[in-house]
Amino acid sequence: MTNPAALLPACWSTPWHLAVVDGPDVGWCLPIVARARVVGRGVDADLTLEDPALSRRHVAVRLRGDAVQVRDLASANGTRALLPPRRPRRPRRADAAAPTSRGPAPGRTRRRRAGRAWRIVPPGTVLVAGGSRLEVRARPGRAAPDPPRPDAGLPVARLVTPLLMGLMSVPLLLSSVGSGPLPAWRLALLVAVPALLVVSVVAAVVGHRRERGRDPELPTPDPPTAPPDPPALALLAVRGGPLPEASGMLDVGTETIELDDAASLALVGAPAAVAAMARWVDAQLRLAGRTARVLVASSWHEVPADAGRVVEVGERHVRRVSAGWAEAIVAHLGRPAAPELPATVPLTDLLGARTGPEVLAAWRSPSGTLAAPIGVGAHGPHVLDLAADGPHALVAGTTGAGKSELLLAWILALTATHPPRDLALVLVDYKGGATFAAVADLPHVTGVLTDLDAAATGRALASLRAELRRRERAFALVGARDLPQYRARDPAERVSRLLVVVDEFRTLATELPGFVDGLVRLAAQGRSLGIHLVLATQRPAGAVTAEMRANIGVRICLRVLSSADSLDVVDAPDAAELPAAPGRALVRTTGLSEIQAAWSGGEHDGGPIASAVRHAARLAGELGHGELVDVRTPWAPPLPVDVRRPDVPGVLVTDLPEEQRLGTWSWEGAPLLVTGGPGSGRSTALASLLGARVRAGDHAHVIGRDLARLCPAVGLARGDHPTLGTVVGPEDPRRLARLVTVLESGGARPGTVLVVDDVETATEALDRVGGPGAGTDRLVSLLRRSASLGLRIAVAGAAPGTRWSALVRHHLALGVRDAGSAALAGIPRELVGVALFSGRGVLLGPDGPLAVQVVRDDGAWPTGGGAATPRLHALPDVVDLAALPPSDGEGLVIGVGGDDAGHVRVPLLPGRPWLVVGSPATGRTGVLDMVADLLGDSRRVVRVDPGTQTLPDSPPGVTWLVDDAESLLPEVSDALATLLAGRRERCVVVTTGEAAASSYRGVLAVVRDARTVLLLGSAAGSPAAGVDTRAARDPVLGHLPGRGVLVIGGRASPVQIARVGGSRR
């Protein structure tokens, strides 16, 4: 890609050139030569323009003889040629003696579309390509010849048209020849048509010759002399000027003003438009050899009262010259650097080769100011005093100009002359921290903030605001207006000056816009409270607000790329002309001075001055002057990484930068949500919450998968602690649902704690019992009613932005490290990234977002005092009949069941049969074996099964055990039904769920309305019992032999039936 600036000199050696008169790159020129030159936005174009509407190869231009030709290169948006209007003809002789006061009216611009074929265009043609306009211009000082006439040949169309019409009429005239004498009108036509053809041809030729012999066009009178536009000024700059006689005028786009009037000029408008206009004005002033004070502002209220001329700049003005164009002008018109300033100024030359004792001596005799030498000017060392000249400073400079080195030298000069007791430093480096690494360990430095930890920067700003309020209160107590007066009235309380140095302030303002708002207040109130800012950036435009500029008294501009940037900083364009030597700068306080900034002399340790400051700090402690290095840090220490109970009370350690301290937070029982992925410390947080409430004497229930982590003490996961109630995971949905039912009904003691880990898994488990959506509905209802039910509920999940956050009072978000997840959780931008360690997160609630660290629970829960918490026990997988107590008159002990997994006694009474419903392999036949074993006397037990052919005779009072009732012979089933209907006998009938619900004859018809129904396996959901058994059936372990639901008198309860000798039938 050709540098556009390199094309400017060639425009003086060619008769024609293409000038960019409007668009993003206005001011560049392309010489037109015989070889086709291409304009586009691609790197292979001869003139590359930063116009997004251009194609990569948009339009080509070349020179043929003295004619300029153009053609479109199949561009996306096409190319239009705006041809200049035709000039007026010479007046006729008859009218020559009749002068008029008005000149000839100009013609209209002719519009043509440039096709893919070469087309001749006259001088003054404007090519509209994308968002740019390019004009065909003659070399300055060259008179433009008349353009060639593209229609100089014979008028072929006027010759061919009458010939064709005549030939087409001949057949018509001769069509009736030979059929008789010709009519008179036909004879007249035969004579007239050839005569008309001859007349038409002769008239066309004669007219063409007369047109060629007309007088030449009169030249258009030259317009009044006006200032050159950007392309013309660029060509003049190549030759070193000067401006034409025009130029007592200064062009500002919409108007021209006298150069003398521009001694003080203010440009007001959008920042980008104003910056471009400032570059254009600066270029005109340079070419004219004039100087002026040019101010830029975004609104009228920012214009100072002493501005001489104010020009409002439109956002789309046609003088939007780029920074690269301005640099080319500066390169051609620039001046050499001042020879009297040295190229390098060691800081030791300004301060002397100081040792540790010398620095300590300077600390013991402080000046009370913030004066320090920063470099050498034309009259010797240049000393800046932020307290007197500031209170704040702005430093600007492009990459490599020496901006960071100037900051280091300034910091070292201050630390070598002011004790840490009187000066505290906060260093903000948004270039990764490398700038201030060499001075980070100096005793004055209270902290170094970088872009690698944006959360720490936000924390520091909050602490600085708190420091501002603390100083305001302290000053008000003694009636002091400023820091010197406060020190005089309260010498015992030594308040230091606080200097905040920010490198790459623009990056900081972009990433943390809230930080800028805080600095505005610091800037406004800093002078009286002893707080000072030094803001450094490559380009301050748009980053440093007007409110901050109003309080910036020191402005330093190192070398910048454009005069507009220089104007923006020091109100003069000269910084764009500074030599490339690092450290050369312009300093604006009450006047403008050029200096060579000091060099610290060390890249890694800060050089000899930094070593002397460190030595002085050690000597102060050894010699009993420790008060000199006693620095009050404006913020609290960082959150600890590992906090354990009982070292810290509460559940969380909170960071309170607005109060400059750390605090603690305890859970009082309002609904709480804890979110975090694996390794975030979520289980640790729940264990800490649970332990805190158990220590307070609250009853607690736990729902979670990893119960060993939620209950860390030995035996707690088994539910052995007296105040720990039900401990259940999602693998036991029946018991989990039962716990929710108990809590919903108000069956828990007020203040009971419920901890739900992995709430989404818990809802899925509840759905398996109550159906799809039931789990979410029940937990949402429980959270909403928690206050009225007296419950303290904490739920936990993995995703930070969940539906549960709207139902809780506090949300503890752990492990959130990216902006997307933080936005979902409602975490402010300045706290993104605080979760660098396990247990670190953000607490969201009524008190605002707080960075927190979870306190690890030690598991030492007290075991004495208070009533035991009711628990829902899990049923065992297997129950041996031999392990059960013997049956008595209250009924047969058939297994364990219910909420307490206690012994289940069921009376088997005459006339009150048992109905056992289940499919094969659910243990239904084992129920008959168990009953037979419990009854003992086999003579009083009669078994009937599908193999029974006839019903045996039996005495009254026997117990009938019927297996597979659905498969009995019809006559046997009917006979047994008749017998049971006539005699009140004890009976246990086993069948399937389908048969129990659909049989209306035989023995099943007699027992289908039994009060005692045992539903085994999948039959637990059967309607055979006539009641809803969903809450009692086990959707996970229901397949175990003997596991089922026992319904007595319409009440269903879970049960595990005992087995006899390992029966699994």
Q: Residues at the annotated binding site? A: 397-404
Question: What is the rounded distance in angstroms from the CA atom of residue 782 to the CA atom of residue 784?
Answer: 5
Q: Of how many residues is the chain composed?
A: 1065
Question: What is the rounded distance in angstroms from the CA atom of residue 366 to the CA atom of residue 358?
Answer: 13
Query: For 133, phi and psi rounded to 5 degrees?
Result: -125, 130
Identify the CA nearest to 646 among candidates 613, 688, 609: 688
Identify the CA nearest to 319 among candidates 564, 17, 576, 22: 22
Specify the residue for token string 């246990």: 988
The set of residues, in sequence order, having a beta carbon less than 8 Å from that of 820 and lying 6+ positions away, is none
Q: What is the dihedral of CA 398, 404, 407, 413, to 10 degrees?
A: -130
Question: What is the rounded distance in angstroms from the CA atom of residue 727 to the CA atom of residue 717?
Answer: 7
Strand residues in 45-180 grouped as ranges (E): 47-48, 59-64, 67-72, 79-83, 110-113, 119-121, 126-129, 132-138
Q: Is 603 exposed, middle or buried (0-12, 13-18, 19+ CB in 10 A)?
A: exposed
Identify the CA nearest to 1052 among candidates 1000, 1014, 998: 1014
Question: What is the rounded distance in angstroms from the CA atom of residue 98 to the CA atom of residue 214?
Answer: 21
Question: What is the rounded distance in angstroms from the CA atom of residue 952 to the CA atom of residue 975?
Answer: 10
Which residues sit in the known binding site for ATP? 397-404
The set of residues, in sequence order, having a beta carbon less than 8 Å from that of 548 and lying 6+ positions away, is 392, 519, 520, 523, 533, 535
Give the tokens for residue 231.
Answer: 């392309």
Specify the residue for token string 């610091």: 522
Reported for 271-276, long-range contacts at CB under 8 A and 24+ positions apart, including other chains, are: 271/296, 271/298, 271/541, 271/542, 272/315, 273/313, 273/314, 273/315, 273/316, 273/317, 273/320, 274/298, 274/313, 275/541, 275/562, 275/564, 275/565, 275/568, 276/317, 276/319, 276/320, 276/321, 276/322, 276/564
CA 674, 679, 684 angle in degrees (round to 5)? 50
Identify the CA nearest to 3 among candidates 35, 25, 18, 24: 25
Distance set, CA 751 to CA 105, 723, 779, 788 (Å) = 96, 12, 18, 11
Whether the CA torsion 468, 474, 479, 483 is positive or negative: it is: negative
Distance set, CA 60 to CA 120, 135, 871 (Å) = 12, 13, 89
Beta carbons of 915 and 1014 less than 8 angstroms apart: yes
Query: Is the N-terminal amide bond of 242 cis, ω within 30° of 0?
Result: yes
3-state SS, residue 987:
strand
Report which DSSP code applies to 887: P
* Neighbour-count burial for 137-173, b at 16+ CB within 10 Å, e otherwise: bbeeeeebeebeeeeeeeeeeeeeebeeeeeeeeeee
What are the percentages of helix, strand and coil residues in the chain, rounded to 5?
35, 25, 45
Alpha helices in 643-722 (DSSP H): 682-695, 707-710
HEC assignment per residue over 429-479: ECCCCCCCHHHCCCCCEEEEEECCCHHHHHHHHHHHHHHHHHHHHHHHHHC
Q: Look up residue 904 and give its amino acid.
A: V
Q: From the centroid of its chain, how far is CA 848?
A: 21
